């Protein structure tokens, strides 16, 4: 690993830790150990879990060093303890957890200077470090979602998102034909993004922007939550059981609560905290459908001028603040039209950042998939239980999302920063004209 790569890994580890510290220092010890929702872990669990994964992979495996705390491994194994039971575990307290993650990090920064990083796929191009940085950032987003579920006075602050700078409406035609999906080259891409492979995607239309609060309000006003026609049988059963009447955190009076602040709903911001079932019902009501995962990725990466797939809608450069609403820079999605510099060649906006976008696709491995570095990273989730989300949210760090990145969750979930956009097939004769 070159000096540049070591420096980059160290800088990203440090930047990421600042975010974790900010999210956990924002609340008092009672709030850190409390479970704010059955769906979430106590924040203090996330913090020590991040440190434990870093210890397992970087201190012990890559570094070959002695364990720091082998006695706590099973407490922080996400597969041994579902989120609901984590508060009952004899977890490290706030001070202990903070000391633990600091100790692990000191060892990692120490070994990063000198560790032999050749001859093993786990360390090539700094993969293990990239994996751990992304893992911590993913838990930071989870902790941000926990903050949204927490009750009490607001504790997080951020500047508002930029205003709309362009009128973005209607849909874009994505031309038919093969494109390269996934990646074999992106150094820190995870196993489920690999390998690159050709997928033939017929022509389709995709919304140029995510569905907004105002558009979603029209679905509610039209009685969309009372009409089983728009819902799948499972979606309708869930809507009734859960008593859903609108997106999560909406109060039904034109306001929603965001991170402890009750505010008027902003009409031209992408709707967030909707489940896959709700997104699908909206799409059916609108005479449209959710895009498949392949369609979403083609819209985000395919460059018709060159025929190649790019890393991001705007090109191959890493995300900058003018491209996308990422990294908890703001505490909400940005209005449609706020990121003209981030648009794709076909004129599709805000594919990266703002809200995770539900697709119609279940999660499966790509042709040639190989679990790496362990089956529990993604292979154990393959199957029809989950639906894929793409593009990241305002709470996703740039290190943890790219054009190929795949997220997944149950179709009933909406505590995540989830929204969507719609697609449709061309009408007969529409493309011949």
Could you list the residues known to form a binding site for Fe cation, using ranges: 49, 135, 139
CA dihedral 104, 107, 110, 113 (to 10 degrees): -80
Residue 192 backbone zone (phi > 0: left; psi -120 to 50: alpha; other: beta): alpha
In order of 199, 253, 275, the CA distances from 243 in angstroms are 40, 17, 13
Question: Which residues are annotated binding-site positions?
Answer: 49, 83-86, 135, 139, 409, 413
What burial letters (b/e) apply to 338-356, b meaning 16+ CB within 10 Å?
bbbebbbbbebbbbbbbbb
Rounded CA-CA distance 189/401 in Å is 9
Can you say how many angstroms the Cα of residue 75 is from the centroid of all Cα atoms in its chain? 25
Question: Which residues are annotated binding-site positions for gamma-L-glutamyl-L-cysteine?
Answer: 83-86, 409, 413
Q: What tokens appear for 8 in the block?
A: 């980059």
The sign of the torsion formed by the CA atoms of 424, 426, 430, 433 equals: positive
Q: What tokens appear for 116 in the block?
A: 């032999």
**Which residues in 315-377 belong to E strands, given as ranges?**
356-358
The end-to-end CA distance of the chain, in Å, is: 54
Q: What angle do CA 238, 241, 244 make, to 5 degrees?
A: 75
The sign of the torsion formed by the CA atoms of 192, 198, 201, 205 equals: positive
Give 251: exposed, middle or buried? Use CB within 10 Å, 0-12, 13-18, 19+. exposed
Q: Is the distance from CB of 8 to CB of 386 less than 8 angstroms?
A: no
């Amino acid at each position: 690993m070159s000096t540049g790569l070591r420096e980059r890994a160290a800088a990203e580890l440090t930047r990421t830790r600042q975010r974790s510290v900010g999210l956990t220092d924002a609340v008092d010890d009672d709030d850190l150990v409390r479970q704010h929702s059955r769906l979430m872990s106590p924040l203090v669990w996330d913090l020590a879990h991040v440190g434990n994964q870093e210890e397992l992979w970087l201190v012990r495996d890559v570094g070959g060093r002695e364990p720091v705390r082998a006695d706590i491994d099973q407490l922080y194994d996400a597969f041994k303890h579902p989120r609901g039971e984590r508060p009952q575990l004899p977890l490290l307290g706030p001070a202990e957890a903070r000391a633990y993650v600091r100790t692990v990090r000191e060892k990692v920064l120490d070994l990063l200077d000198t560790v032999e990083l050749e001859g093993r796929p786990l360390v090539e191009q700094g993969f293990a470090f990239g994996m751990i940085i992304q893992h911590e950032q993913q838990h930071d987003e989870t902790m941000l979602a926990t903050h949204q579920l927490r009750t009490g006075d607001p504790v997080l602050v951020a500047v508002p998102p930029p205003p709309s700078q362009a009128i973005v409406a209607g849909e874009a035609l994505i031309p038919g034909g093969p494109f390269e999906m996934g990646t074999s080259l992106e150094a820190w891409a995870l196993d489920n993004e690999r390998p690159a492979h050709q997928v033939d995607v017929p022509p389709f239309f995709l919304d140029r922007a995510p569905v907004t609060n105002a558009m979603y309000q029209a679905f509610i006003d039209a009685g969309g939550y009372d009409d089983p026609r728009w819902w799948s049988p499972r979606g309708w059963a869930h809507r009734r059981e859960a008593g859903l009447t609108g997106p999560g955190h909406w109060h039904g009076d034109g306001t929603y609560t965001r991170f402890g602040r009750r505010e008027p709903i902003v009409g031209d911001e992408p709707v967030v905290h909707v489940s896959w079932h709700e997104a699908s019902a909206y799409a059916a009501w609108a005479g449209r459908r959710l895009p498949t995962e392949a369609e979403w990725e083609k819209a985000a990466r395919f460059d018709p001028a060159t025929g190649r797939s790019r890393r991001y809608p705007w090109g191959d450069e890493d995300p900058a603040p003018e491209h996308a609403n990422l990294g908890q820079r703001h505490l909400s999605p940005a209005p449609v039209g706020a990121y003209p510099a981030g648009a794709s060649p076909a004129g599709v906006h805000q594919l990266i950042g703002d809200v995770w976008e539900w697709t119609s696709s279940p999660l499966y491995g790509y042709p040639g998939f190989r679990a790496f570095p362990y089956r529990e990273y993604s292979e154990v989730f393959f199957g029809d239980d989950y639906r894929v989300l793409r593009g990241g949210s305002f709470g996703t760090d740039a290190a943890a999302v790219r054009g190929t990145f795949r997220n997944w969750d149950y179709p009933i979930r909406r505590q995540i920063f989830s929204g969507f956009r719609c697609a449709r097939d061309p009408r007969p004769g529409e493309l011949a004209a």
